[in-house]
Amino acid sequence: MKKLFSKINIILIFAVSVASAQQDPQFTQFMFNKLVYNAGYAGVSGGSCGVIQYRKQWAKFDGAPKSYAVAVNSSLPGLPLGVGLTVIQDNIGPMVSNFARIGSSFKLKIGPGDLGLGIDFGILSKSISSTWIVPEPLRNDPRIPGLYGSNGYDNGLLNKIAFDLGFGAYYEIPNQFYIGLSSTHLPAQTIQSSNDLEFQISRHYYIMAGYTAVITPWLKVKPNILTKTDISSTTFDANLNLLWSDLFWVGGTYRSSHSIAILAGIQMPFGSGNSGTFKIGYSYDITTGSMASYAGGTNELILSVCYAPKAKKRSSHGNDRFLD
């Protein structure tokens, strides 16, 4: 009996934690994939970048959150414009969320940096399996839409697609400082199935910022912050990375929603004049608070490639034999 109550408690803790969290997936290594949060970031770096990110949360739970993100963005040569594409999938138990957005940003030169004002649009889909069950088999809660038949639970399948829209403003001084303000899911629709099962899409807001302090020719200290809110709940991430010789980094992150994380990675230049950069990073979240002994840790992996060709210097001369 004690084991039964323990299992039910674990499920209840998990359910409450998911219900109180924001609907967008969270990533510990947010500083390496800004486009998923801010449409204004597209093209501001002046090059072309692609990022792949994978996160497996709470390793000890069956059906625990699992997230994927792919983001690509590029500046358009000769134009003050950037374009971007983001594809995200988030799995939590019987629920699967998909996001696909195309965005564009307009770049303005302001002081030593660039401001990107961007908008993205696309689709989002929510799918909830009809086979999810309550914690105690053979006990059906009449408040949950659905029926129980000879073939098992049938709670009604939710599988709907809706329009999505986001906006972002992002300012960056290269290799020194960045700050961004953005919002996703601006329409904030309610999607509903034919059997009255519905899901309310919440509007999300983000504030991000970061700074690079050069301590020595070989050491840089890079603090980053990210605040996420859907008004009903707010999460704050504070990160500090140490970059050695522009090659290796280690760091740590504190998240207000009961976790801390350690990070490590390597970045390597490639191409003519080191115009490209390849990065691979890993983070491990340590769950704290009431879920620490049940949830297990969280693994996250990120890969990115950026290419920013340097402008060629023009030379001229007035004599075919002598360079002036």
Q: pLDDT: is 115 or 148 the higher one?
A: 115
49 located within any domain: yes
Residue 319 binned pLDDT confidence (cut-offs 50, 70, 90): very low
Assigned token pair, 55: 């996160």
315 located within any domain: no
243 located within any domain: yes
Question: pLDDT digits over 36-91, tens only?
Answer: 999 999 999 888 999 999 999 877 677 778 999 999 999 999 999 999 999 999 98
End-to-end CA distance of the chain: 92
Q: With the CA atoms of 169, 164, 91 and 56 taken in that order, what torsion angle do they form, in degrees rounded to the nearest 10? A: -10
pLDDT at site 74: 96
pLDDT at site 257: 74
Question: pLDDT digits over 268-287, tens only?
Answer: 998 877 789 999 999 999 98
- How far apart CA 26 and CA 22 sit, in angstroms, is 8
5 located within any domain: no
| Residue 246 confidence (pLDDT) above 70 | yes
What are 219's strand-pairing partners? 216, 244
Query: Which CATH number does the domain housing residue 91 bear?
Result: 2.40.160
| Residue 134 confidence (pLDDT) above 60 | no
163 located within any domain: yes
Report DSSP state, residue 109: E
Lowest mean pLDDT among 81-85, 110-114, 249-253, 310-314: 310-314
Domain range spanning residue 76? 31-307
What are 120's strand-pairing partners? 103, 166
Assigned token pair, 6: 């323990």
Of 17, 20, 19, 23, nearest to 185 by C-alpha is: 23
Residue 293 binned pLDDT confidence (cut-offs 50, 70, 90): low
- How far apart CA 86 and CA 51 sit, in angstroms, is 10
- How far apart CA 262 and CA 260 sit, in angstroms, is 7
Q: In the chain, pLDDT over 90 holds for what percent of residues?
A: 56
Question: pLDDT digits over 142-190, tens only?
Answer: 555 555 554 455 555 667 888 999 999 999 999 999 999 999 999 988 8
pLDDT at site 304: 96
> How many folded domains does the chain comprise?
1
- How far apart CA 170 and CA 117 sit, in angstroms, is 7
Question: pLDDT digits over 209-244, tens only?
Answer: 999 999 999 999 999 999 999 988 899 999 999 999
pTM metric for this prediction: 0.82
- Say if CB 170 and CB 180 are below 8 A apart: yes
142 located within any domain: yes
Question: How many residues does this entry show for the chain?
Answer: 324
Assigned token pair, 28: 């510990």
CA 300 to chain centre: 11
216 located within any domain: yes
Of 31, 18, 10, 137, nearest to 66 by C-alpha is: 18
321 located within any domain: no
- Mean pLDDT computed over every residue of the chain: 82
Give CA separation, 74 vs 20, 249, 298, in Å.
35, 25, 31
- How far apart CA 91 and CA 126 sit, in angstroms, is 10
